[in-house]
Amino acid sequence: MRFFRPEVEAVLKMIGAGILVGLIVLPMAWAYEQRQQARAWRSVACTYRMRAITHGAPLVATVDYARDPCLTLQRLGLELDVQRVNIRRVSGR
């Protein structure tokens, strides 16, 4: 039992396939863009960390960190500190 003519069914199938592909590709493209932005922000954070370190320790200022500041921090043993805050409930005992 057909509701539409064969030409209309073919168009609807193509539209459905296009929507299905879009539902798969668009989230992947969005995730890729988010990952690129996260890498850029991490690089900025590492650059600021290196500037703070070179301000406090002039000996480290001779290190070239322009290409990959995060790798330079890692080589120096000064990882980018990510502080995680643990919230604990204090019981009144």
Distance between CA atoms of residues 54 and 56, nearest Å: 5
Q: Which two tokens stand for residue 15?
A: 């539209």
pLDDT of 89 strictly over 60: no
pLDDT of 78 strictly over 60: yes
Task: For residue range 37-68, list pLDDT tens digits in order.
Answer: 999 998 898 888 888 888 877 776 666 766 78
Distance between CA atoms of residues 23 and 54, nearest Å: 47
- Does residue 53 contact residue 80 with C-beta atoms inside 8 Å? no
Say which residue, 71 or 25, is predicted with more confidence: 25
- Does residue 64 contact residue 79 with C-beta atoms inside 8 Å? no
